[in-house]
Amino acid sequence: MEQEFELTAKTFMGLEPVLAKELTQLGANNVQIGRRMVSFTGDKEMMYRANFQLRTAIRILKPICHFKARSAEDVYDKVQAVEWDKILSEKNTFSVDSVVYSEEFRNSRFVTYKVKDAIVDWFREKTGVRPNISVSNPDIRLNIHIAEDKATLSLDSSGESLHRRGYRQESVSAPLNEVLAAGMILMTGWSGETDFIDPMCGSGTLPIEAALIARNISPGVFRKEFAFEKWNDFDKDLLDRIYNDDSLEKEFNHHVYGYDVDMKSVNTALFNVRAAGLTQDITIEQQDFKDFKKPENKSIIVMNPPYGERISTPNLLGTYKMIGERLKHEFSGNDAWILSYREECFEQIGLKPSIKIPLYNGSLECEFRKYALFDGRMRDFRAEGGIVKTEEEKEEMAQKHRFKKNREFKRRIEENEENENADIRSFTFHKHELDRPKRKDWNDSRKREWNTRDHDSKDKEWTRDRTWNHFGRNEDRDARRKDYGTRGRDGYGNRGYDRRRYDKQDKQDKRGNYASKYKNRYDDEAE
């Protein structure tokens, strides 16, 4: 049995308990919750599975060493003490990412330079040849984290942030991060036992993540590569075995619905759903939430309405008032979860939440609130056996220590008279005007237009092709990455696809053919 080693999974503030639960279910040992991270132990297979299967992790780090860093000289000396020839060679390229919270080190770039200098000097002294630095596509990625005087130098096994699943082809303004979306859904406890509804779906992130959870499809199935694939000890057979293991995937007997009033958002969501191969499980349609009618089947609503920050509506508070009215009259007997930022927005909903969970969306300290909706009085509801708040939710509400005490929402919304009577059915997204600093010669013609395609500008062609040329292999993964876009069921509920590589080679490969039509664009990582 392979020896276990220390690992660290990074995540967003507020998602640490969700990530810890994921790791425990995955079989990790010594799981410990920290600030924006969860530490654990495992072997190489656990490290591969963590990258491939975790939904709420941003990246997986493998610590090289821990040390005290009271000065720049300490950092240099400790990094030089590492036997670097066991990690990389002078022929490899590498990069260093620094995260610093320290009075001594005010500039993370300075720390990065110190680490790079120490590594380069080590090779010059030992071999006379130095390895090169590559920012865009290095062979080895390193990470140094300094909190006051405690430093950890790690290997980055993920590479590109794990929130970049690979299915997002297009985006809208202020798209919801995939990791945050998955974390929100897992917080609700939903796993596919009812229908799922997102009435303001934007680019479709919540519906897609919901369908992946319902099917128990690993998010790593869409990824082209991980950083550990360039390591000297990379085990291709092990990764292939993990990739081809679909034994835990489930049937989903309900449905996911996404709606948006903006047709551009609808088309964007349709692109992304198709790229994820989930058209059989997700329906995307244009619909104003004001016209929302009670669903025929038991359902859950999870939504991320505008906050009045990066995007807004002409009548923001009116929108939230409308949300409360629709939920009260058309969604009784079900649960609704809403993520928002401003207290005054929640007040307009006019419903009493059963749970409030602090959660960060980027830099915004938001709340994720649950509304258990029922007819009549709460006393009667409880007398009939209804549960407003589970024991787990009560425990969650008691964890006030996760965020600062007496936290306050920023109160800056002041609806003017012209917006008070605005059409609350209008959801035209635009930059919020209330907090913009005044400029002397400002005019409408100079206003910056939001680029709805706010992903990377590299425009890489999106394809499922994964060749192994850099390892001397030319085997293509297309044979086992079958077209999710044509994923379907026959009359008996069986899957119409198979990703296995060796025993299903006679199946037509449609996935790669579809995927190559689109370009990869990703939103910036909010880490």
**pLDDT tens digits, 271-312:** 999 999 999 999 999 999 999 999 999 999 999 998 876 655
**Pairwise pLDDT comparison (440 vs 502), residue with the higher score:** 440
The pLDDT of residue 359: 92
Q: Which two tokens stand for residue 22?
A: 């994921």
Residue 151 and residue 277 in one domain:
no
Distances (CA, A) of 461 to 323, 382, 514: 39, 55, 11
The pLDDT of residue 407: 46
pLDDT band at 214 (very low <50, low <70, confident <90, very high): very high
19-26: long-range pairs with CB below 8 Å, 24+: 19/54, 19/56, 19/57, 19/183, 21/186, 22/54, 22/55, 22/56, 22/57, 22/186, 23/50, 23/54, 26/50, 26/53, 26/54
Under a CB-based contact definition with an 8 Å cutoff, are residues 196 and 214 in contact? Answer: yes
Residue 262 and residue 307 in one domain:
yes
The pLDDT of residue 39: 96
Under a CB-based contact definition with an 8 Å cutoff, are residues 372 and 333 in contact? Answer: no
Please report whether residue 495 resides in a domain. no
**Pairwise pLDDT comparison (503 vs 236), residue with the higher score:** 236
Residue 262 and residue 355 in one domain:
yes
In this structure, the number of other CB atoms found within 10 A of the CB of residue 248 comes to: 10
Residue 118 and residue 85 in one domain:
yes
pLDDT band at 314 (very low <50, low <70, confident <90, very high): confident
Q: How many CA atoms lie within 13 A of 279 on its CB side?
A: 12
Tell me how far apart the alpha carbons of residues 133 and 329 are, in angstroms, rounded to a whole number. 60
Q: How many residues does the chain have?
A: 527
Domain closes at, from 414, 436, 458: 436
The pLDDT of residue 520: 39
The pLDDT of residue 389: 60
Please report whether residue 374 resides in a domain. yes
Domain closes at, from 402, 436, 470: 436
- What proportion of the chain, given as a percentage, has pLDDT over 70? 70
Under a CB-based contact definition with an 8 Å cutoff, are residues 354 and 389 in contact? Answer: yes
pLDDT-wise least confident of 68-77, 169-178, 200-209, 495-504: 495-504
Residue 77 and residue 137 in one domain:
yes
The pLDDT of residue 395: 63
Tell me how far apart the alpha carbons of residues 15 and 163 are, in angstroms, rounded to a whole number. 13
Q: Is residue 226 packed enough to be buried (19+ CB in 10 Å), middle (13-18) or exposed (0-12)?
A: buried
Run of H or E including 117: helix 108-127
pLDDT in tens, 92-123: 899 999 988 888 888 888 999 999 999 999 99
Residue 269 and residue 190 in one domain:
yes
CATH code of the domain containing 62 = 3.30.2130.30
Q: Which residues are registered as beta bridge partners of 371? A: 336
Residue 363 has pLDDT above 90, yes or no: no
Region 419-430: mean pLDDT is: 38
Tell me how far apart the alpha carbons of residues 167 and 70 are, in angstroms, rounded to a whole number. 43
Distances (CA, A) of 214 to 49, 190, 364, 501: 19, 8, 28, 24
The domain in which residue 67 lies consists of 5-156
CATH code of the domain containing 367 = 3.40.50.150
- What proportion of the chain, given as a percentage, has pLDDT over 90? 53
CA nearest to 308, candidates 300, 316, 299: 316
Residue 196 and residue 148 in one domain:
no
Question: Mean pLDDT, the chain, as a whole number?
Answer: 78
Residue 108 and residue 16 in one domain:
yes
Residue 285 and residue 348 in one domain:
yes
pLDDT band at 137 (very low <50, low <70, confident <90, very high): confident
Tell me how far apart the alpha carbons of residues 517 and 306 are, in angstroms, rounded to a whole number. 31
Residue 82 and residue 13 in one domain:
yes
CA nearest to 410, candidates 259, 307, 520: 307
Please report whether residue 28 resides in a domain. yes
Residue 186 and residue 148 in one domain:
no
Residue 142 and residue 193 in one domain:
no
Q: How many CA atoms lie within 13 A of 136 on its CB side?
A: 3
Under a CB-based contact definition with an 8 Å cutoff, are residues 134 and 93 in contact? Answer: yes
Please report whether residue 494 resides in a domain. no
Residue 7 has pLDDT above 90, yes or no: yes
Question: What type of residue is 264?
Answer: K
Distances (CA, A) of 262 to 49, 286, 289, 290: 38, 7, 11, 13
Please report whether residue 119 resides in a domain. yes
Three-state secondary structure call for residue 411: coil
The pLDDT of residue 22: 97
In the chain, how long is the greatest CA-to-CA distance? 80
Residue 474 has pLDDT above 80, yes or no: no
Please report whether residue 125 resides in a domain. yes
Residue 512 has pLDDT above 60, yes or no: no
Domain closes at, from 436, 463, 496: 436
pLDDT band at 225 (very low <50, low <70, confident <90, very high): very high
Q: Which residues are registered as beta bridge partners of 372? A: 335
Tell me how far apart the alpha carbons of residues 491 and 472 are, in angstroms, rounded to a whole number. 43
Which residues, 6 or more positions from 205, have their beta carbon under 8 angstroms from its beta carbon? 168, 175, 176, 177, 178, 181, 272
pLDDT band at 73 (very low <50, low <70, confident <90, very high): very high
pLDDT band at 240 (very low <50, low <70, confident <90, very high): very high
The pLDDT of residue 440: 42
CA nearest to 339, candidates 366, 317, 312, 373: 366
Tell me how far apart the alpha carbons of residues 318 and 460 are, in angstroms, rounded to a whole number. 41
Tell me how far apart the alpha carbons of residues 202 and 450 are, in angstroms, rounded to a whole number. 15
The domain total for the chain is 2
pLDDT-wise least confident of 4-13, 239-248, 382-391, 421-430: 421-430
Tell me how far apart the alpha carbons of residues 41 and 519 are, in angstroms, rounded to a whole number. 37
Please report whether residue 395 resides in a domain. yes
Three-state secondary structure call for residue 431: coil
The pLDDT of residue 1: 54
Distances (CA, A) of 150 to 5, 68, 103, 143, 153: 20, 5, 12, 14, 10
Please report whether residue 215 resides in a domain. yes
Distances (CA, A) of 337 to 163, 197, 259, 291: 22, 10, 16, 19
**Pairwise pLDDT comparison (252 vs 386), residue with the higher score:** 252
Region 32-48: mean pLDDT is: 95
Residue 26 has pLDDT above 70, yes or no: yes
Q: Give the full edge-to-edge strand order of the sheet including 140-147.
A: 29-33, 37-42, 5-10, 59-68, 150-156, 140-147, 93-101, 132-133
Return the C-alpha torsion angle 60, 65, 68, 70, nearest 10. -80
Q: Which two tokens stand for residue 527?
A: 């880490």
